[in-house]
């Protein structure tokens, strides 16, 4: 069968509801492993909005890998995180005589993955998809078409996929534990979106450290992880818990925003409130005072993803793996160190 199938047609052929098909395509729970596998298999066999190009990638090599981020996020002017990951991937791929194409997704293409030209026009041999906001629909579509891919700083909750992650839980646990050891007792976590694996895991690490110390976790959730969202989250936290004495932020950009609000409200850092970031971007040394943070081995993330992608291209039958890259604390004056 070569005709393109709609979700309604997929549901009819499998004898399930359209809602079930939607849950599978968006990596939502509430679907059995058997049904999930059958949906993805039928997509691959029948061609759910395919162009046929993806299946030819394994036999028609271009020597080019696409490194993909979501267009509206990860602005390197504010959070210079992903350029270092690209550099790591590019360095490793170059040593293997493979080149890298850096590209971005707009919202329309993310919702209509069949229009992603890098694959549709057979320009690349595989994909590195970087960022927690690349949709499950986009990832699962290309998986169903047999496109080799690895995701960075992202992981599907209900579907197996090759992914490379930081030790987000361990890093945030150590950061919160350090604040507790410094005598802080009213520590707030400024989180990114809960649907992002990094937000969930960093929040879990923070909560675990506070639970061990018999302290109550207090969290504020933001729609993004930017300086502006850090300012908004910090303002909300001060309104809810005016006597807070510690802040763990989901990343350095949010921590910088939090420090701006604390300073403007008359709180002294770290005397009144200690602040911890995450990622160790270059700007973390330029704040006043310099920001304590959790160092992420950004170039190593790119290397690990590139290594795994070349392995999958060489052997598409390899089972998916989850690779966790370690972190370490960087202590500076924002926590009194």
pLDDT tens column, 200-246: 999 999 999 999 999 999 999 999 999 999 999 999 999 999 999 99
CATH code of residue 285: 3.40.50.2300
Virtual torsion, Cα 71, 72, 76, 77, nearest 10 deg = 130
Answer yes or no: is 149 within a domain: yes
Clarify whether residues 284 and 175 are in a common domain.
Answer: yes
Answer yes or no: is 51 within a domain: no
Clarify whether residues 285 and 302 are in a common domain.
Answer: no
Clarify whether residues 108 and 133 are in a common domain.
Answer: yes
Residues 6+ apart with CB under 8 A from 334: 255, 259, 269, 270, 274, 275, 276, 277, 287, 289, 290, 291, 292
pLDDT score, position 51 = 41
Answer yes or no: is 100 within a domain: yes
Clarify whether residues 256 and 191 are in a common domain.
Answer: yes
pLDDT band for position 79 (cuts 50, 70, 90): low
C-alpha to C-alpha distance for 305 and 149, rounded to whole angstroms: 9
Clarify whether residues 162 and 181 are in a common domain.
Answer: no
Instruction: Tell me the whole-structure pTM to 2 decimals.
Output: 0.82
Contact predicate 259/245, CB 8 Å: no
Residues 6+ apart with CB under 8 A from 57: 119, 122, 124, 125, 126, 146, 147, 148
C-alpha to C-alpha distance for 212 and 216, rounded to whole angstroms: 10
Clarify whether residues 254 and 312 are in a common domain.
Answer: no
Clarify whether residues 144 and 290 are in a common domain.
Answer: no
Q: Is the model's pLDDT at 159 over the cut of 90?
A: no
**Where in the sequence is the domain holding 120, given as residue range(s)?**
60-166+298-324
Name which residue leads in pLDDT, 11 or 242.
242
Structural domain tally of the chain?
A: 3
- Token look-up 């390899």 returns 318
Clarify whether residues 216 and 274 are in a common domain.
Answer: yes
pLDDT score, position 5 = 61
Q: Is the model's pLDDT at 82 over the cut of 50?
A: yes
Clarify whether residues 258 and 192 are in a common domain.
Answer: yes
Answer yes or no: is 1 within a domain: no
Clarify whether residues 187 and 153 are in a common domain.
Answer: no
Highest mean pLDDT among 34-43, 93-102, 129-138, 260-269: 260-269
Contact predicate 134/154, CB 8 Å: yes
What would the mean pLDDT of 10-27 be, rounded to a whole number?
73
> Residues 248-259: pLDDT tens digits?
999 999 999 999
Answer yes or no: is 289 within a domain: yes
% of the chain beyond a pLDDT of 70: 88
């Amino acid at each position: 069968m070569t005709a393109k199938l709609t979700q309604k047609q997929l549901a009819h052929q499998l004898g399930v509801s359209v809602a079930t098909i939607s849950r599978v395509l968006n990596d939502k729970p509430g679907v059995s492993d058997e049904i999930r596998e059958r949906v993805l298999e039928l997509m691959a066999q029948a061609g759910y909005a395919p162009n046929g190009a993806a299946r030819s990638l394994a036999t028609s090599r271009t020597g080019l890998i696409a490194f993909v981020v979501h267009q509206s996020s990860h602005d390197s002017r504010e959070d210079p995180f992903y350029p270092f990951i690209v550099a790591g991937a590019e360095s490793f791929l170059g040593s293997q005589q493979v080149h890298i194409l850096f590209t971005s997704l707009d919202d329309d293409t993310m919702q209509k993955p069949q229009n992603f030209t890098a694959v549709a026009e057979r320009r690349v041999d595989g994909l590195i998809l970087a960022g927690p906001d690349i949709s499950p629909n986009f990832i699962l579509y290309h998986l169903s078409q047999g496109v080799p891919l690895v995701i960075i700083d992202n992981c599907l909750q209900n579907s197996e996929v090759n992914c490379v992650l930081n030790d987000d839980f361990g890093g945030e646990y150590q950061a919160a534990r350090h604040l507790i050891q410094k005598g802080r007792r009213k520590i707030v976590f400024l989180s990114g979106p809960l649907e992002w694996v990094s937000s969930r895991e960093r929040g879990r690490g923070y909560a675990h450290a506070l639970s061990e110390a018999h302290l109550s976790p207090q969290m504020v959730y933001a729609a993004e992880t930017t300086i502006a969202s850090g300012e908004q989250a910090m303002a909300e936290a001060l309104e809810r818990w005016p006597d807070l004495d510690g802040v763990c932020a989901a990343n350095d950009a949010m921590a910088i925003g939090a420090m701006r609000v604390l300073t403007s409200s008359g709180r002294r850092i770290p005397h009144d409130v200690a602040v911890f970031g995450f990622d160790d971007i270059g700007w973390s040394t330029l704040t006043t005072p310099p920001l304590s943070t959790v160092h992420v081995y950004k170039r190593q993330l790119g290397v690990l993803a590139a290594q795994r992608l070349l392995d999958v291209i060489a052997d598409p039958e390899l089972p998916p793996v989850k690779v966790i890259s370690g972190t370490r604390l960087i202590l500076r004056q924002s926590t009194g160190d």
